[in-house]
Structure 1
Amino acid sequence: MELELRHLRTIRAIADAGSLTKAATALGLAQPALSAQLKRIERSLGGELFERGRHGVRATALGALVLDRARVVLPAVHELQAEAARFARSGSPAGAGRRSLRIGGTHGPLLGGLVDRIASADPGVAVVTHTSWSEREIAASTVAGRLDYALIGTCGESAPPEPGRLVWTEVARDPVFVMLAAGHPLAARGEVGLGELAGEAWTDVPGDGCFADCFAAACVRAGFTPVSVYETDIASCVHLVQVGRAVGLCRATFPDTPGLVTRPLAGTPLVWRHMLGRHPSAPAALDAPRVAGHLRAAHRAAVDRSGSYARWLASRPGAVHDTGTVQDGGTVQDGGTARDAERGP
């Protein structure tokens, strides 16, 4: 049996009602029929969705996962149906005539800031975003014309994906910092040597770029191999650091967060470059200088929100954290010529 939208509605109705009896009444079904349908759904998904008890039902871990997805999928389908109906009546989709920008980004700090600035400066522009852990997926979608811009990061001087088919602007570059629990023995230090963390477990977000290899190489240069690396989402990384389970890697712009501190790594062994990519012949190319300007403003705001990064920059009067001279109307191809003063200790 293939899972259908009606099955998701049934699962949500059971969870909302808290019992099969109440859910059957709400759905206009007999309870035995609902129970049989639930069993078929559970067989299709590979496990029980609800624990049955005298006081009703409670979602299992699998049930909670399915419910989370259902609460995203069902409203989205409802909105699709409503927009399709509006299109059928009017002959044009909602928002027709408005300019739109389709921006793909990894789960970094700048995408939200970019959307905010475009919305403030150009309220007539509709911004559509797509996020993915895969830099290659985002770049490929931009090459194919499904996205207007790709906002990703690269490690050090590594070339971004699709270098021959996309034009890349380096928007900013930051040192990579380490996240420590507030009570960590090294938390009071102004900076931390990578080798001092040799016995720690690490946590970081996933990706298909070369950052994991660059980190492993930096650890080898520091004389150790990481004990373990947990690749997970940002919220889980923060939690693992806060409870002392791991130390984390983060961009220097990571905002101040209760329960943890961010500290520079001595000698700046890792650097992160924020890159904006576009297809050279895409219509959105005309907006590239303005979009890059919004991104630089978003990056400066992110720096201001990070007390540790602001202090690090203040201690290095000659350091720069964003791109220097922009060439060719806002485009610096293949990594560009931005100054690299912050690489020094």
Structure 2
Amino acid sequence: MQLELRHLQAVCRIAEAGSLGAAARRLGVSQPALSAQLRRIERATGGELFVRGRGGVEPTPLGQFVLAKARRVLNEMDALGAEARALAADAPLRLGCIMLVLLDGLLARTDLSMSGREITVDLEDSVTALSRMLGAGQYDAIVYGEVNDHEVALPEGVLVRTLVPREPFCIRLSARHPLAHLDRIDLADLAAESWMTLVEDDDGGPEALTTACAKAGFIPSLSHRITDRKMHYDLIAAGRVISLSQPTALRAEGTVLRPLVGSPVTGRIRLAWNRSSVSARQAELLYRAAARAYLANVGNNRFHQEWWDAHPELHPALD
């Protein structure tokens, strides 16, 4: 077997994630499939690339050598794509987004025709993938979230602007849940629940949930990881799981959204763009479009509208 770029990317993802399971999720493949691919790569390179350690997998000396070469090759390919993209002045502006609620209204508000650029929007479920693709020139701009104190590492040549500095996450649970009648829920009262595993596993969300639950005196039982929104909501409506949710999330039949006492988990929403492919005018248009898309969803839930109105210092600057 000859090594291809996808093989080099797989090796780098395993090293970055620190485990096959986490790397598989970021690559969008099953762990058995990634394990089988790694074995084929190791046969091609002539030896074992990773060993299992206390904190996950660690590269062997051969693995470190292959990683260094792989990163150099991938960086060169990233540079090639970005430089070629910069020369194509009439190409559409490509926006990548994490699965944020505001995306539902973002396209309707972009209107980059004023700046002479069309726009395309793609969804990802990994902040790491978004950042890397931004650095590779595969996206010109990205909209993403960070939870609690987590900060996403961004590539060089990128500018970033915060859309929403802070929003309190809430809980989605079945409308038949014994706590559904409460105006707000204490996290400690959810200790016996099964939780939906967060789709975005590299934005600080899993760590924030685990930390908040630990402070509340329990370890959350994580049982499902589903990207299909309808299936996600159906499981909650059936009372099988609960989940963290953005406070701007839409209502779903059979479920309710409730804020948490003390707001133990908070998020922020940010916009980042490549200076070489997005002008200051286009970046401003993107910022305004994303901000208005968020504002259009603030009223989806009365509790968040009240919280938002009480925190004008967090509102995006649209003057």
TM range (shorter): 0.5 to 0.7
Code of the residue aligned with 2:109 in structure 1: it is R
Identity of aligned residues (%): 25
Deviation string, structure 1 residues 146-197 (Cα, Å, up to 9, x no partner):
2111111001232122165522211013110000111111111111011110
Q: 1: distance between equivalents of 2:144 and 2:216?
A: 27
Are 1:227 and 2:250 counterparts? Answer: no
SS in 2 for 1:140: helix
Structure 1 residue 120 displacement after superposition: 8.5
User: 1:86-165 counterparts in 2 under 5 A?
Assistant: 100-119=92-111, 122=114, 125-162=117-154, 165=157
1:332 match: none
Code of the residue aligned with 1:145 in structure 2: it is G
Structure 1 residue 286 displacement after superposition: 3.4
Between 161-170 and 120-129, the greater mean CA deviation after superposition: 120-129
Deviation string, structure 1 residues 236-269 (Cα, Å, up to 9, x no partner):
2211111000111100001122211101111000
Q: Do the aligned partners of 2:112 and 2:282 also contact (CA within 8 Å) in 1?
A: no
Q: 1: distance between equivalents of 2:251 and 2:297?
A: 10
Q: Do the aligned partners of 2:186 and 2:261 also contact (CA within 8 Å) in 1?
A: yes
Deviation string, structure 1 residues 118-156 (Cα, Å, up to 9, x no partner):
249759642212211111111111112121111110012
Q: Do the aligned partners of 2:135 and 2:155 also contact (CA within 8 Å) in 1?
A: no
SS in 2 for 1:283: coil
SS in 2 for 1:241: helix
1:267 match: 262
Deviation string, structure 1 residues 252-297 (Cα, Å, up to 9, x no partner):
0011222111011110001111111112333344311121011111
Q: Do the aligned partners of 2:198 and 2:206 also contact (CA within 8 Å) in 1?
A: no
- Unpaired runs of 5+ in structure 2? 1-87
> If you compute each CA radius of gyration, which structure gives the higher value, 1 or 2?
1
Normalising by the residue count of structure 1, what TM-score does the alignment of the two structures yield? 0.61
Q: Do the aligned partners of 1:279 and 1:285 also contact (CA within 8 Å) in 2?
A: no
Structure 1 residue 111 displacement after superposition: 2.1
The partner residue of 1:191 within 174, 180, 184 is 184
Q: Do the aligned partners of 1:205 and 1:237 also contact (CA within 8 Å) in 2?
A: no
Q: 2: distance between equivalents of 1:131 and 1:256?
A: 21
2:208 match: 214
SS in 1 for 2:104: helix
The verdict on how the C-alpha distance between 1:184 and 1:121 changes in structure 2, with shifts beyond 3 A counting, is farther
Q: 1: distance between equivalents of 2:126 and 2:297?
A: 23
Q: Do the aligned partners of 2:213 and 2:219 also contact (CA within 8 Å) in 1?
A: yes
Q: Do the aligned partners of 1:264 and 1:312 also contact (CA within 8 Å) in 2?
A: no
- Unpaired runs of 5+ in structure 1? 1-95, 327-345
Structure 1 residue 313 displacement after superposition: 3.9
Query: Matched residue pairs, number?
Result: 229
